[in-house]
């Protein structure tokens, strides 16, 4: 006769089931707490300084815009109001004298008579950001900008030649951080720069 065993052999129940001890649990909690504290510290620091990249991008955008505005101005031997501005091949060809670095009497960025040469932006500064029509740009009231225009050397051209200008635009953000962007403008005379 055959005998069938009704007892099933389960390997899990055959060995002793064991959980974690209290010491292991306390060590686990301590390790996880330390790791979590480190991760939270990084999140808190990045959240606290998350505005900095925005300030830097806005400063860069302001500097690029102002540098482009200045760079697109004519750079001629004569002042923009001179009758020989389009034909002069040297300062001797100017009817009313050469255009020099610096603001000319009465000219400004917004009202007539406006700046008409790269040189006119030398020492320009503003405590608020406005577009070319003097309309304040929303959200940029805490920024300020300044422009410096100086004679410079570039490759084989010397600073003494006066044919190269270095344009430096410096923007200060609301937190006091500064960003400076430089560009060069060369003279193409008599009328290629108009």
Alpha helices of the chain — where are they, by DSSP H?
11-14, 22-48, 51-71
- Cβ-based neighbour number of residue 170 at 10 Å: 18
Distance (Å, whole) CA 148 – CA 121: 7
Give the strand pairing for 144-151 and 178-186: unpaired
Per-residue CA distances from 42 to 34, 54, 125 (Å) = 13, 19, 39
- Name the strand (E) or helix (H) holding 17: none
pLDDT tens digit at each of 194 positions of the chain = 555 555 555 555 555 667 778 888 899 999 999 999 988 888 887 766 655 788 899 999 999 999 999 999 888 888 777 788 888 888 888 888 777 777 777 777 777 777 888 888 888 899 889 887 888 888 888 999 999 999 888 888 888 888 899 999 999 999 899 999 999 998 876 654 44
CB 94 within 8 A of CB 132: no
Long-range contacts, 122-129 (Cβ 8 Å, 24+) = 122/147, 122/148, 122/149, 122/150, 123/147, 123/148, 123/149, 129/62
> Quick one: which of 42, 66, 22 has its CA closest to 167?
66
């Amino acid at each position: 006769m055959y005998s069938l065993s009704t007892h099933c052999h389960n390997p899990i129940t055959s060995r002793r089931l064991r959980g974690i001890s209290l010491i292991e649990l306390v060590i686990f909690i301590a390790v996880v707490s330390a790791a979590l504290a480190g991760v939270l510290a990084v999140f808190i620091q990045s959240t606290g300084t998350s505005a900095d990249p925005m300030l830097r991008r806005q400063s860069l955008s302001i500097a690029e815009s102002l540098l482009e505005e200045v760079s697109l101005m004519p750079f001629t031997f004569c002042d923009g109001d001179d009758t020989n501005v389009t034909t002069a091949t040297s300062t001797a060809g100017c009817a009313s004298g050469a255009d020099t670095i610096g603001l000319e009497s009465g000219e400004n960025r917004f009202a007539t008579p406006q700046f008409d040469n790269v040189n006119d932006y030398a020492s320009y500064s503003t405590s608020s950001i406005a577009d070319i029509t003097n309309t304040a740009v929303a959200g940029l009231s805490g920024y300020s900008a300044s422009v410096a225009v100086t004679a410079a050397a570039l490759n084989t051209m010397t600073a003494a030649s006066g044919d190269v200008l270095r344009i430096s635009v410096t923007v200060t953000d609301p937190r006091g951080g500064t960003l400076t962007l430089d560009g060069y403008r060369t003279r193409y005379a008599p009328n290629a720069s108009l």
